[in-house]
Amino acid sequence: MSDFENAMKCFMVITFRIDSTKDILRQPLVLIDSTINVPEISNLHILKECFSYLNESSNVCKVYGTSKYKNLIKKNLSGNKKNYGFYLPVVIKRKKYAFFVKVWKNISEQKTYIIFSLEDNYGLPGYEELLKEDFCDPLTNLFNRNIYEYKINKITGNNFIGLIDIDNFKKINDIYTHHVGDRIIRNVGSILKKINNCHITFFRIGGDEFVFYTEDLTYEKTISYLNKVIEQVNNIKLNGSRVFCSIGMVKYDGLENQDVKDYRIYADLAMYKSKEEGGNRITFFEPEYIKTIIKDEKVIKLIKGLKK
């Protein structure tokens, strides 16, 4: 046993060896030592198996996307890096674990060492919590503007982008105070969080404004989700009155010559059209909307603000 292998016995880790430095995802794992009682990890046969336990509801999977996060790790493991580490949140028999996995290739010996250590060992703020602080809105627990800006520039294919705005929200704040306004925003956030899934994602970007985008979702199914949003928002109680919201959406193809910021403006114009027609409705952007409302000074100001 090497000095390195003996040293690992002093730590709370699960340590493996691979007798190769190539194609390490599929090479047999040799267990050196395990001082952590997680048999499913200790009994891994090949490194690739660990991804079957990946916690898809973890913040890191929500931020990067489960498939993209897996592929990112696999790409780095398959490359020529001598040292590489990654964060691995897993669920095993309904219990959650957070591992940091360190991979070290000893080229001279043609061996690779893989060390699984529990995140708790470091005594630092959890990675999930740090992600939450950076990417989650504290009032609603939805993703915030930071992650919206990150993800919206990466979407491809046929998608819809849209905005949701609470109708007459300024009056709600003025009449019932900001405390009630915050409660309304929390309630709307709770509704959107329950509807959130792998095909439609909602974000709060500030004030009473929420945005969303879809992936692999038809127009009809998108409208169905948004009708559900309006229906459930209307059920929020406000001193015997109902809460309303206006929604605007636009189709985004993700082509190279399309600027996603322009489509955000189109969605905003469609939402403005919803409000202009009485609110509490969904408007799908049509090019002629620009001709009909572009002379409005409020709209011109809105467009200039969004382009910044």
Query: What is the domain-level CATH number for residue 18?
Result: 3.30.450.20
> Looking at the structure, do residues 123 and 140 belong to the same domain, yes or no?
no
> Looking at the structure, do residues 222 and 150 belong to the same domain, yes or no?
yes
For the chain, give the longest Cα–Cα distance.
78
Domain boundary at 94, 129, 164, which? 129
Q: Kindly report the number of other CB atoms within 10 A of residue 181's CB atom.
A: 20
Q: What is the pLDDT of residue 231?
A: 97
> Looking at the structure, do residues 276 and 214 belong to the same domain, yes or no?
yes
Domain boundary at 129, 153, 168, which? 129
User: How many structural domains is the chain composed of?
Assistant: 2
Domain boundary at 129, 164, 187, which? 129
Range of the domain at 81: 3-129
Q: What is the pLDDT along the chain (308 residues), one digit of tens a residue?
A: 554 445 444 457 899 999 999 999 999 999 998 988 999 999 999 999 999 999 988 888 877 778 888 988 999 998 888 899 999 999 999 999 999 999 999 988 899 999 999 876 444 456 777 777 788 898 998 989 988 888 887 776 678 999 999 999 999 999 999 999 999 999 999 999 999 887 899 999 999 999 999 988 899 999 999 999 999 999 998 887 899 999 999 998 765 566 777 888 889 989 988 998 999 999 999 766 665 655 555 555 555 554 44
pTM of the model: 0.67
Q: What is the pLDDT of residue 307?
A: 47
Q: What is the pLDDT of residue 32?
A: 92
Residues in contact with 35: Cβ distance below 8 Å, sequence separation at least 6, in sequence order: 9, 11, 12, 13, 14
